[in-house]
């Protein structure tokens, strides 16, 4: 660039004839055309700007230099030809730059359009929204049935006192019924707090708070120190039921249970009550239903008995009313407690309880 002839006057360059002037302009034009060609190939925005400034910049662009150094101080007789050549060069440079600018802009637009293009034929992004867990689904189904006949839902604490979990349910301290409910006690609790072994404490809590009539179901988690195997864990789910009023009979109990079984297992299911024992019900019963697999004729699932055990229940033991200051002379009622996990496994033919808690989507997907 130091030898750029446009920084010198024509006199300094020794261009004293019109021919030499024309040749000198031709030289500049060739230089411009070569550089313009290089730049349009690169299309780098910064480089392009630099190129434009180098040629048309007001301060020391080539055109300005030609005007200042060649035209202005030109000898009188050369001035017309210098002026003419200058105008030609100027017009050529400006036209070329304008043309290239349009080209570059169009190319940039095209590239941007290609980048932004949305292909509407491509499949969209699908986000799985998941499903309700089978336990939740079973809860919903069970609660729906009881809500449909006038029960309402209440929930209670998972950490209980021995009073609510045992005493008030007519299970005194050394009662053998405490043994088959191996209990987790909370370490360091002076009150002997424990993880509830069943949802039955909510019978007491509800009756303490509420005058009869009572018609509640209680969904929730319960905990027992069982050895884990294919049907046992340290936690499972129950739904407790309690109905107390002035005129509830064993027939109401049986009718409610029957209605429930038909709703849950289908209209063909039959119900059977088998004598059982719970300290807080008297009489107590195990509720069985005809096997949902064979319909009662006997198969492997029901161990060829035709019956499947569903849950424990009974008429509320009048001794319980004493703990909640209900009038045992006037009131009667029934209660039940069902294992939700057990019912889900039975209904859906699941033989391994742990599957319900491992949350393997290959398992969960089977219950959309």
Q: Is 336 one of the binding residues for ligand PHE (CB under 6 A)?
A: yes
Stretch that binds ligand PHE, among 58-66, 103-111, 185-193, 306-314 (CB under 6 A): 306-314
Q: How far is the CB of 164 from ligand PHE (least distance, A)?
A: 12
From candidates 162, 220, 296, 314, binder to ligand PHE by CB under 6 A: 314
C-alpha torsion angle, residues 185, 188, 191, 193 (rounded to 10): -30
Q: Is 51 one of the binding residues for ligand PHE (CB under 6 A)?
A: no
Q: Which residue is nearest to ligand PHE (CB)?
A: 337
Task: Name the residue nearer to ligand PHE (CB basis): 260 or 278.
Answer: 278
What are the C-alpha distances in Å from 55 to residues 34, 38, 85, 284, 357?
13, 14, 16, 105, 76
Measured distance CA(243)–CA(232) in Å, rounded: 29
Site string for ligand PHE, 182-221 (x = CB under 6 A): ----------------x-x---------------------
Q: Is 170 one of the binding residues for ligand PHE (CB under 6 A)?
A: no
Q: Is 313 one of the binding residues for ligand PHE (CB under 6 A)?
A: yes
Measured distance CA(108)–CA(114) in Å, rounded: 10
Task: Name the residue nearer to ligand PHE (CB basis): 67 or 283.
Answer: 283
Stretch that binds ligand PHE, among 58-66, 79-87, 256-264, 308-316 (CB under 6 A): 308-316
Q: At what angle do helices 340-348 and 250-265 cross, to 10 degrees?
A: 40
Q: Is 333 one of the binding residues for ligand PHE (CB under 6 A)?
A: no
From candidates 134, 335, 343, 356, binder to ligand PHE by CB under 6 A: 335
Q: How far is the CB of 274 from ligand PHE (least distance, A)?
A: 13
Site string for ligand PHE, 234-263 (x = CB under 6 A): ------x-----------------------
Q: Is 69 one of the binding residues for ligand PHE (CB under 6 A)?
A: no
Task: Name the residue nearer to ligand PHE (CB basis): 10 or 320.
Answer: 320
Q: Is 317 one of the binding residues for ligand PHE (CB under 6 A)?
A: no
Q: How far is the CB of 304 from ligand PHE (least distance, A)?
A: 26
User: With helix as H, strand as E and coil as C, how does the chain read?
Assistant: CCCCHHHCCHHHHCCCCHHHHHHHHHHHHHHHHHHHHHHHHHCCHHHHHHHHHHHHCCCCCHHHHHHHHHHCCCCCCCHHHHHHHHHHHHHHHHHHHHHHHHHHHHHHHHHHHHHHCCCCCCCCCCCCCCCCCHHHHHHHHHHHHHHCCCCEECCCCCEECHHHHCHHHCCCCCCHHHCCCCCCECCCCCCCCEECCCCCHHHHHHHHHCCCCEEEEEEEEEECCCCCCCCCCCEEEEEEEEEEECCCCHHHHHHHHHHHHHHHHCCCCCEEEEEEEECCEEEEEEEEEECCCCCCCCCCCCCCCCEEEEEEEEEECHHHHHHHCCCCCCCEEEEEEEEHHHHHHHHHCCCCCCHHHHCCHHHHCCCC
Q: Which of residues 273-302 bind ligand PHE (CB under 6 A)?
A: 278, 281
Task: Name the residue nearer to ligand PHE (CB basis): 145 or 335.
Answer: 335
Q: How far is the CB of 200 from ligand PHE (least distance, A)?
A: 4
* Beta-strand pair 214-223/152-153: parallel
Task: Name the residue nearer to ligand PHE (CB basis): 39 or 342.
Answer: 342
Q: How far is the CB of 339 from ligand PHE (least distance, A)?
A: 8
Task: Name the residue nearer to ligand PHE (CB basis): 43 or 221.
Answer: 221
Stretch that binds ligand PHE, among 19-27, 96-104, 335-343, 349-357 (CB under 6 A): 335-343
Residues that bind ligand PHE (CB under 6 A): 198, 200, 240, 278, 281, 312-314, 335-337
């Amino acid at each position: 660039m130091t030898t750029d002839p446009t920084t010198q006057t024509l006199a300094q360059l020794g261009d004293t004839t019109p021919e030499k002037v024309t040749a000198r302009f031709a030289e500049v034009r060739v230089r411009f055309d070569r550089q313009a060609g290089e730049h349009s190939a690169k299309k780098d925005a910064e480089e392009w700007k630099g190129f434009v400034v180098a040629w048309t910049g007001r301060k020391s662009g080539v055109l300005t230099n030609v005007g200042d150094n060649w035209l202005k101080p030109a000898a009188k007789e050369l001035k017309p030809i210098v002026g003419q050549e200058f105008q030609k060069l100027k017009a050529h440079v400006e036209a070329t730059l304008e043309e290239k600018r349009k080209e570059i802009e169009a190319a940039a637009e095209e590239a941007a359009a290609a980048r932004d293009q949305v292909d509407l034929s491509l499949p969209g992004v699908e986000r799985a929204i998941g499903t309700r867990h089978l336990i939740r689904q079973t809860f919903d189904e069970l609660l729906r049935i009881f809500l449909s006949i006038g029960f309402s839902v209440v929930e209670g604490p998972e950490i209980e006192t021995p009073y609510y979990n045992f005493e008030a349910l007519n299970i005194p301290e050394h009662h053998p019924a405490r043994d088959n409910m191996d209990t987790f006690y909370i370490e360091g609790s002076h009150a002997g707090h424990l993880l509830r072994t069943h949802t039955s404490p909510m019978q007491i809590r509800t009756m303490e708070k509420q005058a009869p009539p009572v018609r509640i179901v209680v969904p929730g988690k319960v905990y027992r120190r069982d050895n884990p195997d294919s049907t046992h864990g340290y936690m499972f789910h129950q739904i407790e039921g309690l109905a107390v009023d002035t005129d509830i009979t064993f027939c109401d109990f049986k009718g409610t249970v029957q209605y429930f079984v038909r709703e849950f297992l289908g209209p063909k299911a039959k119900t059977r009550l088998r004598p059982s024992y719970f300290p807080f019900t008297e009489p107590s019963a195990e509720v069985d239903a005809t096997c949902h697999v064979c319909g009662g004729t006997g198969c492997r699932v029901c161990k060829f008995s035709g019956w499947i055990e569903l849950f424990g229940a009974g008429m509320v033991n009048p001794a319980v009313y004493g703990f909640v200051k209900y009038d045992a002379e006037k009131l009667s009622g029934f209660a039940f407690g069902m294992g939700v996990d057990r019912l889900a496994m039975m209904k859906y033919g699941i033989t391994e309880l742990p599957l319900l808690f491992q949350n393997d989507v290959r398992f969960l997907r089977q219950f959309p």
